[in-house]
Structure 1
Amino acid sequence: MLTLAGVQRVYLASGPTDLRKSIDSLAALVQESFGLDPFSPCLFVFCNRERNKLKILYWELNFRSMK
């Protein structure tokens, strides 16, 4: 389950994004184009050209898998 209690900011991409991009490609877009850290406690929201679909990038650290 996704908990959004720790989200500090929400960033909306202003233009259309190809939603066929993978998570890695979206993270690279956040880092290179926006100059932001994709691992920060923020939501990065992208939409397609028709603006009828969204893709949200959010890094949630899972402490259970770090044993």
Structure 2
Amino acid sequence: MIINTDEIKNIYVAKQFCDIRKQIDGLALIAASQFSMTVLDHSLFIFTNASRNRIKMLYYEANGFWLFTRRLENGKFKFKKHEESGVLMITPPTAQLAD
């Protein structure tokens, strides 16, 4: 099943690194406390570990959660803010884009 990206209202990136071993319930608690909101509003929450080689994305759809995980074997995810728009972009190393 693929998520309908048109239904995603907001995308939030956690400012602090988290224990990437956490699963749905633990990440939902972090999202609710860090963003002071419910995680059931069709928003996508992105978390990373301290070494930035793993990310997890949490999304609630209809009557259940989706949890996506990406682990890079080489390199790190880069987090950078677009200077004009202020949008935060997350990109893996270029070698990983050809998956």
The Cα RMSD (Å) is 1.2
Q: TM-score, normalised by structure 1?
A: 0.82
Structure 2 unaligned residues grouped into runs of 5+: 64-99
Task: Output one character per residue of 1:26-64: Cα deviation in whole Å (capped at 9) or x when no partner.
Answer: 1111112321111111100000111111100100115xx
Question: Quick one: distance in 1 between partners of 2:35 and 2:4?
Answer: 25
Greater strand proportion: 2
Q: 1:53 aligns to what?
A: 54
Larger Rg: 2
Q: TM-score, normalised by structure 2?
A: 0.58
SS at 2:60's partner residue? Answer: coil
Task: Return the structure number with greater relative CO, CA threshold 8 A, min gap 6.
Answer: 1
Count of residues in correspondence between the two structures: 62
Q: 1:65 aligns to what?
A: none
Q: Percent identity?
A: 35
